Amino acid sequence: MKFLVLLVFLLLLFFYYKNYKKRKLNQKEKVRITEMIRDEVCGLYLSRDEALKVEIEGKVYYFCSEECKDAFLKGHSERA
């Protein structure tokens, strides 16, 4: 009988620990820091993950929208 009680206690402890670890991992995922970058045309700041990017001559430029990207590319091609 004591063995059975001990076994149940250990199983409960195991499942509690397993759920605790899962909750801890989920909390770490919520605290995710993203790098903010500045749009080359309008100056808007947005996360690097959301931005459109264009690489020209080895340099990467970031944009908030297709309109800003197109305006930059038009101006860049006129300068070249």
Report how many domains make up the chain. 2
Residue-averaged pLDDT of the chain: 84
Least confident of 21-25, 32-36, 45-49: 21-25
Largest CA distance in the chain: 86
Domain extent at residue 20:
1-32
The CA distances from residue 78 to 2, 43, 69, in Å, are 85, 21, 14
- Both 46 and 73 in a single domain? yes
Average pLDDT on 19-27 reads 70
42, 24: one domain: no
Q: What is the pLDDT of residue 54?
A: 92
Q: Name which residue leads in pLDDT, 25 or 3.
A: 3
Nearest in space to 57 (alpha carbons), one of 76, 78, 35, 37:
76
Does pLDDT of 37 surpass 60? yes
Vertex 75, ends 73 and 76: CA angle to 5°?
60
In degrees to the nearest 10, what's the CA dihedral of 9, 15, 18, 23? -110
pLDDT given at position 25? 64
